[in-house]
Structure 1
Amino acid sequence: MTDAKPANAAPRLIPFMYHLVVNTTRLPLLLRGQRVVALGRELIPATGRLVIAGGNHTSNMDPFIIAQTLPEGRRVQFMAKKELFKGPVGWIISGGGSFPVDRKKNDLGAIRNALRVLQAEGTLGIFPEGTRGGQELQGGTALLALKGKAPITPVWLNLKGRTWIVRFGEPIQPTGSVRELTERLDAAFDALDAQS
């Protein structure tokens, strides 16, 4: 008997590892005296495929903070830069369901993995800028949402004093062209930023 996953399966998410990663990443926040407040969680659909799109990626903690604020039963699998998947850290975040992407090329393997997460009725986490630091939105998030027939829930993170404010927006339905959907996502991020 083999434990190999089928070639067309979504990246494996081990629930124990997922919860270990999410709960362990609370520690650095506690040590810094920081807390996390989630606004708009009720806007997140309880079930079904979903893309969680982070509008501003400023910290290595962003994916973990988003994961901490999702409703019970909603586990997010992030597409993350391949450099994070080396050594023990890579094994841990892989066990948590995340998967690598080579940002220097059109990584078809990562795109397939993202679509498999959605086809399995999972939650895909992605930062549409493609990196930290306020870049222009890339069209990949819209493309994945359209191909995967998944709504996009925009999320905006803001650190005010010692409080992380995680603000979720209304889900955006996957309709129109990649460009149109990217523009709607960008407008949703602007609206969330204005509320921060």
Structure 2
Amino acid sequence: MSQPPAPGAAAPRLIPFMYELVVAGTRLPLLVRGQRIVAHGLDLIPASGRLVIAGGNHTTNMDPFIIAQVLPKGRRVQFMAKKELFKGPIGWLISGGGSFPVDRSKNDLGAIRGALRVLQAEGTLGIFPEGRRGGQELQGGTALLALKGKAPIVPVMLSLKGRTWTARFGAPIAPAGSVKELTERLGAAFEELGT
């Protein structure tokens, strides 16, 4: 876990055309349902440089796509996602869009290295610190990746009321202190955004 990625190792592949195709394609379910997205705090997201986008609540399969749809132009987020999603044509599509698999049943060193490579390439890593949909407790992995990758964390909370999705982004949290301290600061930011 403490070993950084090998110098020159490539970040998980992101094909810009595929990324845009995935983002555009996931607008369709929203249109069919008559839903829209409202985003707050987009001005808090740094325009460039390595960044972790951390979702404070993960309740639907649409959550990563909602975040991707509202990010400022030039910010393409690469999500760490459960390995079960990477089977068949859907897996090919989301892989081309930059997402990469994680085996949640173990400490997946390959996924950790992939996440650090995204950050070392000055990319945007997307992660849900609870580790799964409907999780109740923040895990320390997000803080660990931010500290090792020297990347600020931008927290985001999602909600759906009626036909309106709301994405609330918070101010970047500097990658400083211990894993526990950074996880606690992230949790406090989620609480503030959720009120």
What interval of TM-score do these two structures reach, taking the shorter chain for normalisation?
A: over 0.9
Which residue does 1:3 correspond to in 2? none
Q: How does 1:91-130 map to 2 (within 5 A)?
A: 91-130=92-131
Structure-1 residue corresponding to 2:66 = 65
| Fraction of identical pairs, as percent | 83
Structure 1 Cα separation of the partners of residues 25 and 86 of structure 2:
18
Letter in 2 for 1:31: V
- Cα distance, 1:7 vs structure 2: 7.4
Q: Does 1:78 align with 2:79?
A: yes
CA distance in 2, matches of 1:167, 1:41: 8
* C-alpha distance in 2 between matches for 1:140 and 1:32: 34
Give the deviation of 1:11 after TM superposition. Answer: 0.5
Following superposition, the deviation at residue 160 of structure 1 comes to 1.1
CA–CA separation in structure 2 for the residues paired with 1:130 and 1:70: 22
1:134 CA drift (Å): 3.4
Partner of 2:165: 164
Between the two proteins, the alignment pairs up a number of residues equal to 189
Q: What is the root-mean-square deviation in Å for CA atoms of aligned residues?
A: 1.0
Instruction: Give the deviation of 1:8 after TM superposition.
Output: 1.2
Q: Which residue is 1:133 aligned to?
A: 134
Gaps of 5+ in 2: 1-6
* Structure 1 stretches lacking a partner, 5+ long: 1-5
| Cα distance between partner residues in 2 of 1:158 and 1:55 | 11
Q: Which amino acid aligns with 1:76?
A: V
The letter for the 2-side match of 1:46 is: A
Query: What amino acid is aligned across from residue 178 of structure 1 in structure 2?
Result: V
1:90 is aligned to 2:80: no
- The yes-or-no answer on 1:53 pairing with 2:57 is no
SS of match in other structure, 1:180: helix
Deviations 1:99-151 (A, max 9, x none): 00000100000000000000000000000000010320000000000000000
Q: Structure 1 CA distance, aligned partners of 2:88 and 2:163?
A: 31
What is the TM-score with the length of structure 2 in the denominator? 0.96
SS in 2 for 1:150: coil
Output the TM-score relative to the length of structure 1: 0.95
Residue 43 of structure 2 is matched in structure 1 by 42
User: Which position in structure 1 is the counterpart of 2:144?
Assistant: 143
Q: Deviations along 1:37-73, whole A, 9 cap, x unmatched?
A: 1100000000000000000000000000000000001
Q: Hey, which bits of structure 1, 4+ residues long, moved more than 6 A? A: none
Write the distance in 1 (CA, Å) between the matches of 2:28 and 2:98.
20
